[in-house]
Amino acid sequence: MNKPADIENLSTKINAFKKKQDKSEHAFQTSSHTGASKGFQFFIEFISAVFVSVAIGLFLDDLCHTAPVFLVVFTIFGSLAGVLNVYRFAKAQEKENF
């Protein structure tokens, strides 16, 4: 049983549309995962700098018996370092995307 040419043509167009739609959905899913991972990396860049500086501040305060002096100073430095890390990472991503 042969299909008429119009039905075969329509079937070909439908299959091509389905393939195109599958590719666009895959591209959307990939880009959303990439955005989430970049956001997570921003978070990690900042938190790691603050965490390390707070640990150093606590250690120095315990070593020198100066209650919150080093903790406060190193927390400020760590926060600034975290912001700088995020800024550098964002600039690198901007150059990569454009």
Q: Look-up: residue for tokens 């167009």?
A: 13
Handedness of CA 75, 77, 80, 81 (dihedral sign): negative
Residues 6+ apart with CB under 8 A from 62: none
Q: How many domains does the chain have?
A: 1
Instruction: Report d(CA 35, CA 41) in Å as an integer.
Output: 10
pLDDT at 16 over 90: no
pTM: 0.61
Structure tokens at 53: 């500086």
* Domain enclosing residue 75, as ranges: 5-97
Q: What confidence score (pLDDT) does residue 79 get?
A: 96
Say how far apart CA 91 and CA 25 lie, in whole Å: 28
Q: pLDDT per residue over 43-61, tens digit each? A: 998 999 999 999 999 999 9
Q: What are the pLDDT digits (tens) for 28-47?
A: 555 555 778 888 888 998 99
The pLDDT, as a whole number, for residue 12 is 85
